Chain A
């Protein structure tokens, strides 16, 4: 049995210890906001935060969830309102097909208000987008970053 917190709620998971965290989230917990792109650690679409640190959930074994706190895109908004970063992606057109968006947002979450383009690019170096050409994503992050 693996005990962890997911978006603040305590969970006990009875899953294969080498199951990908990505699949645990999507299949066992029904949190389908986290997306799979490549399944190889290359695209960042599956980014979640474990103890506040962004990782690719497609390469994290469930065994590494014991005792940690996981944050996914579902955990961001509060009281029916989007997180400012999510809101900025909507307003600035930072999402087109949207498959990279949850991962982009989870990877950008730590960036402080007023982060420079260089810092944004460094934080998002592991996140690929095939639609936007990135400019709208940088604009969205500039607008919505709050350092969480």
Chain B
């Protein structure tokens, strides 16, 4: 059947005005689709690749929007726009890497409309999957991106398990690097999930990118003061400089005394189905001097176990170089 992409299929739309009502709606409709800014949602719905019968628009839920200071850190409402996040004075001052990461998503128009919750909840950009091919992630039994003739320049080099799609989010690695916590609610109550555990690989569930299940609402993101005002780094490499999804991005937060690394978080996106925290590299460089040898050491450890596809081997040296640049602290701020 031909698909008329500009015309929406039929569904019920709900526009709740409180978190409580949203949770009630979610518990009553077991195939409800949550829509925040709608940037990612629109694509799926227009193309008829996802066909929910109910859409819940978060636009009217004021409680989900805004940033407030809390215990040395900040709490960010899930429906806060990326523009609000990247331009917020406290975020800019204390959590520069998050401001930079949110401020380099897409274009100004995209950041004005896209929410942080949607940026974290967005699905992978794998073009086979997004075009509606019946791959593993879509419930089928093949990965079209991992065949001898596949176009897979943007796909995974780490942790692939049947599916080789990657996490495209720019804000996700930044939040993991800052030890953020996700506040998730459903009809049964609230749970707090570490950002690091929020994103999942195909081995856990090949059809999802995060721990959010049907009925779950991401309410807010808490960024603790742990790395407030410390040494931060964010860099994104993309095909086009004006705007583009990341090929690989890196977020790093570092606490130092003099030139010694007391504590560090290194997180890389675009290389696996979830942003990867480089724990082994972090452990190897904690207590060391921030210099070229340390950068090299971390880079060597970072890509251990990498498996490349036909067109994405470039991601190995790219990722290593980004790790080195993060440890050197080479200036990469864009604003």
- Partner-binding segment picked from B109-117, B180-188, B209-217, B253-261: B109-117
Indicate if the CB atoms of B109 and A64 lie closer than 8 Å.
Answer: no
Contact A40 B38 (CB under 8 A): no
CB-CB contacts below 8 Å: B71-121 with A: 83, 106-110, 112-113
Find chain A residues with CB under 8 A from B107 CB.
41, 44, 125-127
* Contact residue among A17, A39, A59, A123 (Cβ-Cβ distance under 8 Å from B39): A59
Is the CB of A23 closer than 8 A to any CB of chain B?
yes
Interface-located stretch among B5-13, B137-145, B276-284: B5-13
A2 and B112 CA atoms in complex are apart in Å by: 21
* B-side contacts of A39, CB under 8 Å: 5-6
Asked if residues B8 and A54 are in contact (CB atoms below 8 Å), the reply is: no
Residues A20 and B59 in contact, CB atoms below 8 Å apart: no
Knowing A61-B38, A64-B38, A125-B243, the reply to whether A53 touches B112 (Cβ < 8 A) is yes
Cβ contact of A63, chosen from B5, B57, B106, cutoff 8 A: B57
A143 CA to B156 CA in the complex, in Å?
Answer: 46
A20-B6, A63-B15 in contact; A41/B106 too (CB < 8 A)? Answer: yes
B42 touches A61 (CB 8 A): yes
Q: Is the C-beta of A101 less than 8 angstroms from some C-beta in chain B?
A: no
Measured CA separation A127–B109 after assembly (Å): 9
Pick the residue among B5, B83, B112, B242 that contacts A125 (CB under 8 A).
Answer: B242
Chain B residue with the shortest CB-CB distance to A67: B60
Is A4 part of the contact surface with B, judged by Cβ < 8 Å?
no
B57 — which chain A residues lie within 8 A by C-beta? 61, 63-64
Interface status of A105 (Cβ within 8 A of chain B): no
Interface residues of A in 37-81 (CB under 8 A from B): 39-41, 44, 47, 53-56, 59-61, 63-64
B45 within 8 A of A: yes
Indicate if the CB atoms of B59 and A64 lie closer than 8 Å: yes
Main secondary structure of the interface of B (DSSP, over half): mixed
The 21 sampled A-B contact pairs (Cβ below 8 Å) are A18-B11, A19-B8, A20-B42, A39-B5, A39-B6, A40-B43, A41-B39, A41-B109, A44-B107, A53-B112, A54-B108, A54-B112, A55-B109, A56-B109, A59-B38, A59-B39, A61-B42, A63-B57, A107-B108, A121-B242, A125-B243
Report the separation of the CA atoms of residues A125 and B15 in the bound assembly, to the nearest whole angstrom.
Answer: 32
Residue A97 CB within 8 A of the other chain: no
Q: Note all chain A residues with C-beta closer than 8 A to B110.
A: 41, 56, 126
Which B15-70 residues sit within 8 Å CB-CB of chain A? 15, 35, 38-39, 42-43, 45, 55, 57, 59
B9 nearest in chain A by CB position:
A18
Residue A16 at the chain B interface, CB threshold 8 Å: yes
Q: How far apart are the CA atoms of A126 and B244 in the complex, in Å?
A: 10
A17 with B38: in contact, given A23-B6, A64-B59, A125-B107 (CB under 8 Å)?
A: no
Give the contacting residue for B45; candidates A18, A53, A55, A127; CB below 8 A: A18
CB of B49 to closest CB in A, whole Å: 14
Excluding A18-B8, A59-B42, 12 further A-B contacts by CB distance (< 8 Å) are A18-B45, A18-B55, A39-B6, A41-B106, A41-B109, A54-B108, A56-B110, A60-B113, A63-B57, A125-B108, A126-B106, A127-B107
Most buried by A among B5, B59, B109, B335: B109
For residue A63, which residues in chain B have a CB less than 8 angstroms away from its CB? 13, 15, 57, 59
Identity of the chain B residue whose Cβ is nearest the Cβ of A49 in the assembled complex: B112
Min CB gap B88→A, angstroms = 15
In the complex the two chains form, what is the Cα distance from A121 to B43 in whole Å?
27
A47 to B112, CA, bound (A): 11
Q: Which residues of B contact A19 (CB under 8 A)?
A: 8
Which of A16, A41, A47, A107 has the most chain B CB within a 10 Å cutoff?
A41
Name the residue on B nearest A126 (C-beta).
B107
Complex alpha-carbon distance, A23 and B46, angstroms: 14
9 closest residue pairs by CB, A with B: A126-B107, A18-B8, A125-B242, A126-B109, A56-B109, A53-B112, A55-B113, A17-B13, A125-B107
Min Cβ gap A64→B in Å is 6
Q: Which residues of A contact B45 (CB under 8 A)?
A: 18
A41 / chain B contacts, CB cutoff of 8 Å: 39, 106-107, 109-110
Q: Is the CB of A47 within 8 A of B13?
A: no
Chain A neighbourhood of B55, CB < 8 A: 18
Closest A residue to B11 by beta carbon equals A18
Interface centre among B11, B15, B113 (most CB of A within 10 A): B113
